[in-house]
Structure 1
């Protein structure tokens, strides 16, 4: 997991901000953001704007990323116009097309125009048919259980041991909450669809010239609950390096987002475009309940990173913030009721 502070290593490739480059050596650019991989942009001197991206997987990433599933998702998304071309793969990485545009920030995702583009693009992805016509199953609980099994209870650094004992909920409590979530959330009736599962702001590329957005970084893509993917995105309004949950979208903003989403999703699945108040409220409730699972998922992820990553980022502190937000928002989320 060498390099930088975010889960995405691609966002600075998309923006090509020169201050983010480690080096420019003739026809090679090395990018620094990302907590999982090393990314190099390659180009010929005559056409520096025509970049091909080479991603080399980081150390121990096989613990948290299913690379076979990532490739399948990459290919399916490209076939449906949602991802760049994948040129080739090799034992510890892959090579693919550069995607033009600007990576978004926490304020950009709140812009009414961009907000609608994001909701429609997510609807487009969620409407993609399952591979080979199979009935998809959500991988949320399997993945979360795997991450939980990898969470470290002891660190070499004594200060980290003290912090995890004092600030992180006990393993018994974490497991209790995980079991409760599976029991409760699985009954909400959220459809299982192809999800991105990691739609933080910097994983959204806005091409202002063409008037669209595209999502990047498919390492966590899989079939999952529709409401989880949306709830996870709403959590990411808070950012990552400096979390501010005051930026979590208001009910009004969510309802605007969800109405556009439902119109696009229903149109893509040939179920009309009319959205009833009941459908809108149902999705609102599902999304805000599944947002709880998002906090746990990335909390576990951060605890694993705290053990294995060598980058200068407080993963342990990030995990604490995610678990704290879970317990803070759980009462209000659980008070929400799906309309009769």
Structure 2
């Protein structure tokens, strides 16, 4: 296991969901800043890179205060990578979400799946209204656009006990996006994937510790004095929890597309329903938070 390469072959129709050129571009940028493994080669339907030694995490690990801190620091390191040549990056979150929305099927050949879809997934009109509302409200929160991982679920975090560090893998969805989206998306992933349990979503106290560690590290990587005020932590807390709504929609649409194309034995429709339900449940809660003066 000391000398292993990893070969990844792209799944069926994943090109509908993933921009492969963008993935390789992000991979190379992250690698040049010491945030990704060595990329050895790319080919038409996959890539080959260095195997990351360590353990892929589970939901019980990501809430461990010590590991939490390592994750916050590593994400801050990625977010602190500056765009080259003074280029001002823009987020493509809304564009991508609309592209996914346009790929969501309106009917399914399997009658049971179709009936469940009609019964439990909100109408296209409702989804479209919510998307327009989110774009307007969340874009106005002032969250900076940075290089993001965009898919920081537990299994994409590798903890190496010997080195006492964490590294992230799988950059399929990485690219420029809102800082608060990347963190909010990670917090949603505390709930797990196979047995989603939102009671595991981090409580306010844990979030504040996480966000403080993140902000201190972010300033450090930017070469600024790492003094962080209560107001800065509170501002990020509100932005992150409101942006976590967008991640429910993004992965909800993603899962509905997978229902049609994926060959993986997984209840993608059930997962989409869980994500969209959580959006509607959390919307009044997180929109009740107010930005600090």
**TM score, norm. by length of structure 2:** 0.99
- The 3-state SS of whatever aligns with 2:259 is helix
- The 3-state SS of whatever aligns with 2:162 is coil
Matched, 1:194 2:163: no
Paired residue total: 293
Tell me which of 54, 57, 63 is aligned to 1:101.
Answer: 54
- The 3-state SS of whatever aligns with 2:49 is strand
The answer for the alignment partner of 2:257 in structure 1 is 304
How many Å separate the matches in 1 of 2:94 and 2:223?
30
Higher helix share: 2
The answer for the alignment partner of 2:238 in structure 1 is 285
The answer for the alignment partner of 2:43 in structure 1 is 90
The answer for the alignment partner of 1:217 in structure 2 is 170
Tell me which of 107, 113, 116 is aligned to 1:160.
Answer: 113
How many Å separate the matches in 1 of 2:128 and 2:112?
24
Given that 2:154 and 2:189 are in contact with CA atoms closer than 8 Å, whether structure 1 keeps it comes out as yes
Instruction: Give ranges in structure 2 of 5+ residues lacking alignment.
Output: none
Given that 2:91 and 2:178 are in contact with CA atoms closer than 8 Å, whether structure 1 keeps it comes out as yes
How far does the alpha carbon of each residue in 1:259-286 deviate from its partner, in whole angstroms, 9 at most, with x for none?
Answer: 0000011111223211111101000000
The answer for the alignment partner of 1:36 in structure 2 is none
- The 3-state SS of whatever aligns with 2:88 is coil
Given that 2:12 and 2:263 are in contact with CA atoms closer than 8 Å, whether structure 1 keeps it comes out as no
Which residues of 2 match residues 1-340 of structure 1 at below 5 A? 48-340=1-293
How many Å separate the matches in 2 of 1:208 and 1:131?
34
How many Å separate the matches in 1 of 2:166 and 2:2?
19
Structure 1 residue 241 displacement after superposition: 0.5
How far does the alpha carbon of each residue in 1:99-146 deviate from its partner, in whole angstroms, 9 at most, with x for none?
Answer: 111000000001111000000000000000114431100011011010
Given that 2:147 and 2:174 are in contact with CA atoms closer than 8 Å, whether structure 1 keeps it comes out as yes
How far does the alpha carbon of each residue in 1:299-331 deviate from its partner, in whole angstroms, 9 at most, with x for none?
Answer: 000000011112211100100000000000100
**TM score, norm. by length of structure 1:** 0.85
How many Å separate the matches in 1 of 2:55 and 2:154?
11
- Structure 1 segments of 4+ aligned residues over 4 angstroms from their partners: none
Give the alignment's Cα RMSD to 1 decimal: 0.8
Instruction: Give ranges in structure 1 of 5+ residues lacking alignment.
Output: 1-47
Q: Which has the higher contact order (CA 8 A, sep 6+)?
A: 2
